Structure 1
């Protein structure tokens, strides 16, 4: 059976950046299962899956635009340290939920300088070209419940 919208796919993968650094991998873990066509995975990888079948192994290079998006400088902001009331010690790398007019947005502290904290709301892989080494382990029709819920069970 070929992968098409409405199929549940189980795959093993290794994700690297342009420098060859391993960013994520399913090695030593269960396969990653997703519902093709339900936007459970990044768009570029979902597109690369089309037509593949069990036993296929391939490399997919996904540009940032088809992965986690480009890095938007306007999503990096400097805020006063007083915005973090109730937090004893701020450190670079800490993550918070910022309340915005559009609802909560995850942000990460990228710099602390005196009383000014720089936060970044971009996905940590925004602007990064990704390479996936994939092996397809299972392909099957999704159940009606999986289709309704828009994810594999």
Structure 2
């Protein structure tokens, strides 16, 4: 079966900045499972997966615009220190803040007595990425997965 919209794909990946050492890999854990066509991974990688089949391996370069977006200057916010709890903070550190819209990764820019300035750009914003992908399994999505917009079970969401 070829990868298409509304199919479930289990795959291993290794990601790096183009021309650099790997930043992350799934090879030492369960494959990632996603529902194609529902915004569950970056657009450039999802597009590169189309029409591939289980057992295929490929590499693809994904430009920043099709990955985590271009870096936006001035995308900063001042946050009361209490929102970071008791964790020790340092400039350049990446932390996850709980927001009204769910968890958000931010990078600490400046630490004051009672406030912290954070960069809201995704840590990978503005970076061209290279992915090495191994497609493990392709299957049709179940009705419940299509309704929820994500994979259930092995490698997906348990609920």
TM-score category, normalised to shorter length? 0.7 to 0.9
Contact 2:81 2:114 in 1 (8 A): no
Residues 1:140 and 2:139 aligned together: yes
Taking the aligned partners of 2:102 and 2:141, their CA distance within structure 1 comes to: 32
Aligned length: 149
Give the alignment of 1:3-152 within 5 angstroms: 3-77=3-77, 79=78, 83-85=80-82, 90-92=89-91, 93=93, 95=95, 97=97, 106-112=105-111, 117-152=116-151
SS at match of 1:9: strand
Change (3 A) 1:109 1:10: same
Contact 1:98 1:107 in 2 (8 A): no
TM-score, normalization by structure 2: 0.80
Higher gyration radius (CA): 1
Deviations along 1:3-29, whole A, 9 cap, x unmatched?
Answer: 000100011111111242211101121
For the aligned residue pairs, the C-alpha RMSD in angstroms reads: 2.7
- Structure 1: state its 5+ residue gaps: none
Change (3 A) 1:64 1:137: same
TM-score, normalization by structure 1: 0.83
Contact 1:13 1:134 in 2 (8 A): yes
Change (3 A) 1:85 1:38: closer
